[in-house]
C-alpha cells in the first residue's frame, strides 16, 4: 500500500517553522528588548527614526509593540515587555506605585489638537480647549472619542471634566466612542465630518484627512507628556533589565534627546525633548 509521504511533510514543516522563527539570524546574535509603546509614537514614525540610531550605538535591537497606553501598561504588567514608553502620567505613576515599574522618567512632550470640519459648525476654533469643548457639546456637533483607555482617551476625558461638561448626562448620539486607535478615530472623524482630539504627531502623519483641519491648538492644557519606565525585574525575572535600562538611559541622554528633537515631518518638529527638566 502506498502511504502518505509523512516524514517529508514533517521535515518541511520543521524547516518552514525554523525559517519563520529566525527570519534574521544576524540579529539573533545581539540582545533584543521589547518595548510596549503607543500608537502615537509608532504611527508618527518616531521609532523608525530613533531605533536605528540607538541600535547602532549599543547593538541592542528593539521590538516595538504599539498599543494604547492602557493596553501597553497591561502588557508591562503581565511581563510581556521590558520597557513601557507611554503618555498618561497618572496611569504611569500608578504602574510604578504598584511595583510593576522601577521608576518613571520624563522623555518628551508633544501636544494635542482638536481637529474638525473646516466649516466648523460648532464655532469651536480658537485657543481655549475648554471653551471649544463646551461649544461642541452645546451644538451637539458630532465628536469621535477613542474610548479605548489610551493616553489620548484619558486626556480627552480630563478636558471634558475641566470644561465643566458632565459626560454622563451630556453624552448622546453626537458623541461616539469607537474603542480603537488614533488612526481609526481620525478615519471615522474624516468620514463623518466630526470633531476629534488627536496628538499632533499622528495628525501630521495621517493621510486621509478629507475635510478635517486643526481648529484648536496652542492651549497650555494640551501639553502631552511622555514617560518611560523599566518593567520591574523583581516582578518578572526574565526582564532584560540591563539592555532595557540602556534604552532608557539613551532616550534621556543628550544624544537621544537630540535625536527626538531632530524628527520632523514636512519640516515640522513632532516631539519636544524635556528629560532634563523632569528627571
Partner 1 sequence: MLASFAAAVSLIGTFDPEVIRILLLSLAVSGSAVLIGCVIGLPLGALVAVARFPGRQAVTVLLNAFMGLPAVVVGLIVYLLLSRSGPLGGLGLLFTPTAMVIAQTMLVTPLIAALTRQVIEDSDRELGESLRSLRLSRWQQARTLLFDARFSLVVAVLAAFGRAVSEVGAVLLVGGNIAGHTRTVTTAISLETQKGDLPLALALGILLIAVVIAVNAATTGVRAFSMRRYG
- When asked if residue 179 is in the footprint of partner 1 (CB under 8 A), the reply is no
Q: Which of 88, 113, 111 is nearest to 196 (CA)?
A: 113
- Give Rg (Cα) of the chain: 22
Q: At closest approach, how far in Å is the CB of 217 from partner 1?
A: 19
d(CA 187, CA 140): 20
How far apart CA 213 and CA 190 sit, in angstroms, is 10
Stretch that binds partner 1, among 63-71, 137-145, 156-164, 255-263 (CB under 8 A): 63-71
Enumerate residues 217-246 that contact partner 1 by CB under 8 A: 236, 238
In terms of CB distance, is 212 or 275 closer to partner 1? 212
Q: Does 147 bind partner 1 (CB under 8 A)?
A: no
Q: Which of 28, 30, 48, 59 binds partner 1 (CB under 8 A)?
A: 48
Q: How many other CB atoms are there within 10 angstroms of residue 167's CB atom? A: 13
Tell me which residue of 219, 213, 201, 224 sits closest to 133, measured CA to CA: 219
Q: Supply the minimum distance, in Å, between the C-beta of residue 189 and partner 1.
A: 11
Is 26 near partner 1 (CB under 8 A)? no
Q: Is beta strand 32-38 parallel, antiparallel or unpaired with respect to 61-67?
A: parallel
CB atoms within 10 A of CB 264: 12
- Tallying the residues shown for the chain, one arrives at 279
Q: Is 170 exposed, middle or buried (0-12, 13-18, 19+ CB in 10 A)?
A: middle
Kindly state whether residue 187 participates in binding partner 1, applying the rule CB under 8 A: yes
The interface region with partner 1, picked from 11-19, 147-155, 156-164, 249-257 by CB under 8 A, is: 11-19
Contacts to partner 1 from residues 96-135, by CB under 8 A: none
Q: Which secondary-structure segment (H or E) carries 66?
A: strand 61-67
Among the residue ranges 10-18, 86-94, 123-131, 146-154, the one whose residues contact partner 1 (CB under 8 A): 10-18
8 A C-beta contact, residue 91 and residue 69: yes
> Taking a C-beta distance cutoff of 8 angstroms, is the pair 260, 46 a contact?
yes
Q: Which region, left, alpha or beta, applies to residue 59 given φ > 0 means left and ψ of -120 to 50 means alpha?
A: left
Residue 80, interface with partner 1 (CB under 8 A)? yes
Q: For residue 167, state whether it binds partner 1 (rule: CB under 8 A).
A: no
Q: Should residue 188 be labelled a site residue for partner 1 when binding is judged by CB under 8 A?
A: no
Q: Which of 33, 46, 60, 64 binds partner 1 (CB under 8 A)?
A: 64
Among 33, 34, 124, 143, binds partner 1 (CB under 8 A): 34
Are 21 and 182 contacting, i.e. CB atoms less than 8 angstroms apart?
Answer: no
Among 192, 208, 253, 279, binds partner 1 (CB under 8 A): 208
Closest distance between partner 1 and the C-beta of residue 23, in Å? 6
Of 41, 43, 245, 246, the residue at the interface with partner 1 (CB under 8 A) is 43
Chain residues binding partner 1 by CB under 8 A are 1-4, 6, 9-10, 12-13, 16-17, 19-21, 23-24, 34, 39, 43, 47-48, 63-66, 77-80, 180-184, 186-187, 190, 205-209, 236, 238
Amino acid at each position: 500500500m502506498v502511504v502518505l509521504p509523512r516524514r517529508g511533510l514533517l521535515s518541511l514543516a520543521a524547516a518552514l517553522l525554523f525559517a519563520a522563527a529566525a527570519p534574521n539570524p544576524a540579529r539573533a546574535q545581539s540582545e533584543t528588548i521589547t518595548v510596549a509603546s503607543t500608537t502615537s509614537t509608532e504611527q508618527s514614525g518616531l521609532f523608525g527614526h530613533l531605533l536605528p540610531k540607538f541600535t547602532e550605538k549599543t547593538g541592542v535591537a528593539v521590538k516595538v509593540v504599539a498599543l494604547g497606553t492602557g493596553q501597553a501598561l497591561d502588557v508591562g504588567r503581565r511581563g510581556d515587555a521590558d520597557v513601557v514608553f507611554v503618555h498618561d502620567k497618572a496611569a504611569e505613576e500608578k504602574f510604578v506605585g504598584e511595583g510593576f515599574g522601577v521608576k518613571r522618567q520624563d522623555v518628551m512632550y508633544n501636544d494635542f489638537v482638536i481637529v474638525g470640519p473646516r466649516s466648523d459648525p460648532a464655532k469651536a476654533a480658537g485657543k481655549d480647549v475648554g471653551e471649544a469643548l463646551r461649544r461642541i457639546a452645546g451644538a451637539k456637533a458630532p465628536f469621535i472619542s477613542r474610548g479605548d483607555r489610551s493616553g489620548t482617551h484619558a486626556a480627552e476625558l480630563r478636558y471634558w471634566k475641566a470644561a465643566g461638561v458632565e459626560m454622563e448626562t451630556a453624552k448622546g448620539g453626537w458623541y461616539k466612542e469607537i474603542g480603537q486607535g488614533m488612526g481609526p478615530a481620525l478615519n471615522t472623524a474624516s468620514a463623518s465630518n466630526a470633531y476629534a482630539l488627536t496628538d499632533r504627531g499622528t495628525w501630521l502623519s495621517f493621510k486621509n484627512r478629507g475635510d478635517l483641519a486643526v481648529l484648536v491648538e496652542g492651549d497650555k492644557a494640551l501639553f502631552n507628556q511622555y514617560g518611560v519606565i523599566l518593567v520591574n525585574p523583581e516582578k518578572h525575572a526574565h526582564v532584560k533589565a540591563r539592555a532595557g535600562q540602556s534604552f532608557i538611559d539613551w532616550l534621556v541622554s543628550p544624544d537621544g534627546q537630540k535625536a527626538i528633537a531632530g524628527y520632523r515631518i514636512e519640516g515640522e518638529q513632532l516631539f519636544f525633548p524635556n528629560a532634563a527638566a523632569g528627571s
